[in-house]
Chains A and B, each alone.
Chain A
Amino acid sequence: MSDFVEEETRPVPVVRRFLRDRGALASVVVLLLLLVGSLLASWLVPDKATQTSGSLHRPPSAGHLLGTDELGRDLAARLLIGAQASVVVAFASALLGMAIGVAAGLVGGYVGRWWDSVLMRVMDLLLALPMVLVALVVVVVLGPSTLNVVIAIAVAAVPTFARLARAGVLELRDRQFVLAAKAMGAGSVDIMTRTVLPNIMGPIIVQFVVVAASAVVAAASLSFLGLGVPPPAPSWGSMLQQSQSYLFDNAWYGVFPGLALALTVLCLDRIGVGLQRVLGSSGAADIAVEVR
Chain B
Amino acid sequence: MTSYLLRRLGQFVPVLLLATVVVWAMIYALPGNPAQVVGGTDATPEQLAEISSRMGLDQPIWQQFLTWLGNAVRGDLGTSFVSGHTVTSLILDRLPATVQLSVLAMIGIIVLAVPLGMVSALAQGTRLGRAVNVVLAAGLSIPTFWFGILFILVFSIYLGVLPAASDYAPLWSDPGAALRGGVLPALALALPAATVTARFIASSMTEVMERDFIRTARAKGAGEWRTVVRHGLRNALLPAVTMAGLQLGHLLGGAIVVEVVFTYPGLGRLLFAALSARDYALIQGVILFAVAIFLVLNVVIDLLYAYLDPRIRIG
Choice from B11, B22, B153, B276 contacting A255 with Cβ under 8 Å:
B153
Tell which of B104-112, B224-232, B287-295 binds the partner: B287-295
Cα-based distance from A217 to B141 in the complex (angstroms): 9
Residues of B within 8 A of A290 (CB): 246
State the Cβ distance, A253 to closest chain B Cβ, in Å: 10
- Contact string, A240-256, partner B, CB cutoff 8 A, digits 1/0? 10011001100100110
Q: Name the interface size band of chain A.
A: 35 or more
Asked if B200 lies at the interface with its beta carbon under 8 angstroms from chain A, I say: yes
Q: Known: A129-B253, A132-B254. Contact between A140 and B283, CB under 8 A?
A: yes
Q: Is the CB of B26 within 8 A of A254?
A: no
Q: Known: A128-B15, A129-B291, A290-B246. Contact between A240 and B149, CB under 8 A?
A: yes
- Contact string, B226-258, partner A, CB cutoff 8 A, digits 1/0? 000000000000000001001001101110110
Q: Is the CB of A269 within 8 A of B141?
A: yes
User: How many residue pairs bridge A and B at CB < 8 Å?
Assistant: 126
Q: Is the CB of A121 within 8 A of B14?
A: yes
Cα-based distance from A240 to B147 in the complex (angstroms): 11
Asked if B1 lies at the interface with its beta carbon under 8 angstroms from chain A, I say: no
Residues of B within 8 A of A17 (CB): none
State the Cβ distance, B134 to closest chain A Cβ, in Å: 10
Q: Known: A136-B256, A251-B153, A251-B157. Contact between A285 and B250, CB under 8 A?
A: no
Q: Is the CB of B143 within 8 A of A220?
A: yes
Choice from A221, A243, A248, A292 contacting B257 with Cβ under 8 Å:
A221
Q: Is the CB of B15 within 8 A of A133?
A: no
Q: Is the CB of B261 within 8 A of A244?
A: yes
Residues of A within 8 A of B149 (CB): 240, 243-244, 247, 254, 258
Residues of A within 8 A of B15 (CB): 121, 124-125, 128
Cα-based distance from A137 to B287 in the complex (angstroms): 8
Chain B, range 1-42, C-beta contacts under 8 Å to A: 11, 14-15, 18-19, 22-23, 26, 29-31
Choice from A221, A225, A265 contacting B275 with Cβ under 8 Å:
A225
Q: Is the CB of A133 within 8 A of B153?
A: no
Cα-based distance from A240 to B144 in the complex (angstroms): 12
Chain B, range 248-286, C-beta contacts under 8 Å to A: 249-250, 252-254, 256-257, 260-261, 271-272, 275-276, 283
State the Cβ distance, A219 to closest chain B Cβ, in Å: 10
Q: Known: A131-B253, A132-B253, A141-B29. Contact between A262 and B260, CB under 8 A?
A: no
Q: Is the CB of A224 within 8 A of B157?
A: no
Residues of A within 8 A of B298 (CB): 128
Choice from A121, A136, A140, A221 contacting B18 with Cβ under 8 Å:
A121
Q: Known: A248-B157, A258-B149, A289-B199. Contact between A132 and B256, CB under 8 A?
A: yes
Chain A's closest residue to B275 (CB) is A140
Choice from B11, B19, B141, B257 contacting A224 with Cβ under 8 Å:
B257
Cα-based distance from A40 to B87 in the complex (angstroms): 50
Q: Is the CB of B138 within 8 A of A266?
A: yes
Residues of B within 8 A of A165 (CB): none
Q: Is the CB of A125 within 8 A of B18?
A: yes
State the Cβ distance, B204 to closest chain A Cβ, in Å: 10
Asked if A270 lies at the interface with its beta carbon under 8 angstroms from chain B, I say: yes
Cα-based distance from A274 to B257 in the complex (angstroms): 30
Asked if B150 lies at the interface with its beta carbon under 8 angstroms from chain A, I say: yes
Residues of B within 8 A of A243 (CB): 149
Chain B's closest residue to A270 (CB) is B137
Chain B's closest residue to A267 (CB) is B141
Chain A, range 114-141, C-beta contacts under 8 Å to B: 121-122, 124-125, 128-133, 136-137, 140-141
Q: Known: A141-B26, A225-B272. Contact between A133 and B157, CB under 8 A?
A: no
Choice from A136, A143, A258, A269 contacting B150 with Cβ under 8 Å:
A258
Chain B's closest residue to A266 (CB) is B141
Q: Is the CB of A265 within 8 A of B143?
A: yes
Choice from B142, B153, B164 contacting A262 with Cβ under 8 Å:
B142
Asked if A227 lies at the interface with its beta carbon under 8 angstroms from chain B, I say: yes
Cα-based distance from A263 to B291 in the complex (angstroms): 32
Asked if B196 lies at the interface with its beta carbon under 8 angstroms from chain A, I say: yes
State the Cβ distance, B149 to closest chain A Cβ, in Å: 5
State the Cβ distance, A15 to closest chain B Cβ, in Å: 23
Asked if A149 lies at the interface with its beta carbon under 8 angstroms from chain B, I say: no
Q: Is the CB of A289 within 8 A of B196?
A: yes
Q: Known: A122-B18, A132-B257. Contact between A221 and B153, CB under 8 A?
A: no
Cα-based distance from A255 to B253 in the complex (angstroms): 24
Cα-based distance from A292 to B15 in the complex (angstroms): 21
Asked if B152 lies at the interface with its beta carbon under 8 angstroms from chain A, I say: yes
Residues of A within 8 A of B291 (CB): 128-129, 133
Asked if B86 lies at the interface with its beta carbon under 8 angstroms from chain A, I say: no
Q: Is the CB of B157 within 8 A of A217?
A: no
A-B contact pairs, 8 of them (CB 8 A): A122-B18, A132-B254, A137-B287, A141-B26, A227-B275, A255-B153, A258-B150, A263-B141
Given contacts A128-B15, A225-B257, A248-B157, 7 further A-B contacts (CB under 8 A): A122-B18, A129-B291, A132-B256, A133-B253, A141-B29, A221-B144, A269-B140
State the A residues within 8 Å of B (CB).
121-122, 124-125, 128-133, 136-137, 140-141, 143, 213, 217, 220-221, 224-227, 240, 243-244, 247-248, 251, 254-255, 258, 261-263, 265-266, 269-270, 285, 289-290, 292
State the B residues within 8 Å of A (CB).
11, 14-15, 18-19, 22-23, 26, 29-31, 137-138, 140-146, 149-150, 152-153, 157, 164, 192-193, 196, 199-200, 203, 243, 246, 249-250, 252-254, 256-257, 260-261, 271-272, 275-276, 283, 287, 290-291, 294-295, 298
